[in-house]
Amino acid sequence: MQLRRNLMSNERLKRNQRHIIERIIIRGTLILDTPTCLGNGDPDGPTDMMLVRDSISSHALLTGTSVAGALRNYVHEHEHGYRQDEQNNSLSTSLFGGISEDDDGDQSPLIINDSISSQVPKIELRDGVKINSITRTVDPEARAKYDLELLQAGTKFSLSLELLIEKEDREITLIKVIGRERPLLKTSSFHTFLFKWLAYRYKNKATLLKSLAIALQGLERKQDQNCSEDQKDLKSGEISLGMKKRRGFGRCHVKEWQVWSFNLEDSGDRMAWLLFDRECTNKLPVITNKIADALGVVLDEKEDKRDRFTINATFTLASPLLIRSGQAATGRAPDVVHLKSKRYGKDESVLSGTSLAGVLRHRAERIVNTLEKPTTIIDEIFGPDFSEDKTKEAKASRLIVHESVIKDTTDLVQTRIAIDRFTGGAYHGALFQEQPIFGKGDENLQLEIELRNPEQHEIGLLLLLLKDLWTQDLPVGGSSSVGRGRLQGKEATLMWTKEQKSWKIAQHDLSKNSLEITGSDRQDLENHVKKLVKYTK
């Protein structure tokens, strides 16, 4: 038995052990900007999707795997673009480890800890239902009524990450490169291979820091150039967490980063790392709002390969708006109230991303059918509809519709009755009350819509949808048959990153049917619509 143990110990010593020479610890407070669904997968709960909680404290739990998956996907899309297969020797695999198909893939040098909410979470319930696109009523055959348990906006999590920097061993690196690039040796010269090896990015410090800076910048607030100076810090990070991210849930940001760097080849730093979190270390962190500055990395925006078409539009409420929801507070309330959501402890009226996306999809179907175009356009943009065909390939929606807070509104209760169509009198027992919201100002809500990997005919379809919203022809919410849900466009900014084009549309005088279009060539917008009219597949 002792001999076997000695042999096992010798075998362990012969392995290539990681020689860690530096550890970088990064911490920050993650703040949710919109409701977030971090489900536990329990099918037997009181709601269709229950939140995952810590088994000891009952606080909300944000697992390290969820954060790692979101960060990894962001780095991959930043480097290669949307819907591209992940490959070895990329920034994402160098930081997060090899791909699942690679049996010889390396372990991730980044450690991401589970995070528990700072307080017992405040819960928000959201329900949804599938609407029939023809009758514009609830589809009873679809049986698509569901409800979700969400974390309220303002919930905080303490993020903790640790990056391990290994000592570079050129001999080991060359062996791994030769093993992975064996096909290259058969098809190209040795000089080409040598050049590729010299440029090879195998877990060196500069590559890891760059990958980490790209990943974490997705959690930083971006300056929205379309807002005024006092509002430029209100835009969330580009990374969203949880389910239904493409309908406005899970938006978040980290306001401030704390970064510690420990050189393990220095005895003082080694001791400081061992005593870290024990309140007896004198190692002070670097505190900054930009993670790239703390890591000493310069990021080039030109390296971002993502292709997006974005619409940021300002609308005013031209008529009352009512998106049905459960009451926001206990006590007496009308039968039907407008949807409200908590924003940092305050109830705010909102236009949900799910409601707006449903309205846009139904109108897009009508436009496509009117033009006698293939309905595959709808599935490509909004994702497939499995209620009619279960054999369709599952794809995530390429259209991201964010949730919008509606400002400067007032709530008014309206009492209504149902009329007996035979007698013409009031129907017995059909008295009910509704509480829609009414706009008071000129700028009530901002709509944010993003289409990934856009084609010209798809941009043309979005422009027609924007036109219908702008001209009050496309109502949102319920009770549209009695005049509710009309929006009036005031200003919109359109951007296409791939072509580096942007347009600004404004209607300063709402009493006049005239638009002011500035920026890139306005004829390009007309050409996109023509591409839709001529589209065949």
Distance between CA atoms of residues 313 and 307, nearest Å:
20
Residue 257 has pLDDT above 90, yes or no: yes
- Give the least confident one: 16-20, 456-460, 490-494: 16-20
Q: Taking 70 as the threshold, does the pLDDT of residue 229 lie above it? A: no
- The CB density around residue 448, as the number of other CB atoms within 10 Å, is 20
Question: Per mean pLDDT, which of 14-23, 380-389, 430-439, 442-451 is the most reliable?
Answer: 442-451
Residue 233: pLDDT above 90? no
Categorize the per-residue pLDDT at 221 as very low, low, confident or very high, splitting at 50, 70 and 90.
confident
Weakest mean pLDDT among 36-50, 343-357, 499-513: 36-50
- Phi, psi at residue 422, to the nearest 5°? -85, -45
Residue with the larger pLDDT of the pair 355 and 331: 355
Q: Is the pLDDT of residue 132 over 80?
A: no
Is residue 32's pLDDT more than 90? yes
User: Could you read off the pLDDT of 259-308 as tens digits, one per residue?
Assistant: 999 999 899 888 888 888 766 567 788 899 999 999 999 988 888 999 99
Q: What is the pLDDT of residue 171?
A: 47
More confident residue, 149 or 464: 464
Write down the pLDDT at residue 98: 82
pLDDT at 187 over 70: no
DSSP type of residue 129: -
**Res 202: pLDDT:** 46
Closest by Cα among 319, 324, 357, 298 to 473: 319
Instruction: Of 3-12, 230-239, 360-369, give the lowest mean pLDDT range.
Output: 3-12
200 — pLDDT class (breaks 50, 70, 90): very low
Q: Which residue has the higher pLDDT, 332 or 15?
A: 332
CB-CB neighbours of 206 under 10 Å: 10
DSSP 366: H
Mean of pLDDT over the chain: 83
Percentage of residues in the chain with pLDDT exceeding 70? Answer: 82
Give the pLDDT band of residue 370 (cuts 50, 70, 90).
very high
Q: What would the pLDDT profile of 439-471 be if each residue is shown by its tens digit?
A: 888 888 999 999 999 999 999 999 999 999 999
pLDDT of residue 232: 43
What length does the chain have?
537
pLDDT at res. 262: 92
Give the Cα separation of 378 and 375 in Å (integer).
6
Residue written as token pair 């990997």 = 453
3-state secondary structure of 342: strand
**CA torsion, ordered 492, 469, 375, 461, to nearest 10 deg:** -30
Indicate the pTM of the whole model. 0.85
Going from the C-alpha of 152 to that of each of 13, 81, 125, 149, 168, the distances in angstroms are 51, 31, 9, 10, 45
Burial class of residue 453 (count of CB atoms within 10 Å of its CB; 0-12, 13-18, 19+): middle
Q: Which residue has the higher pLDDT, 510 or 280?
A: 510
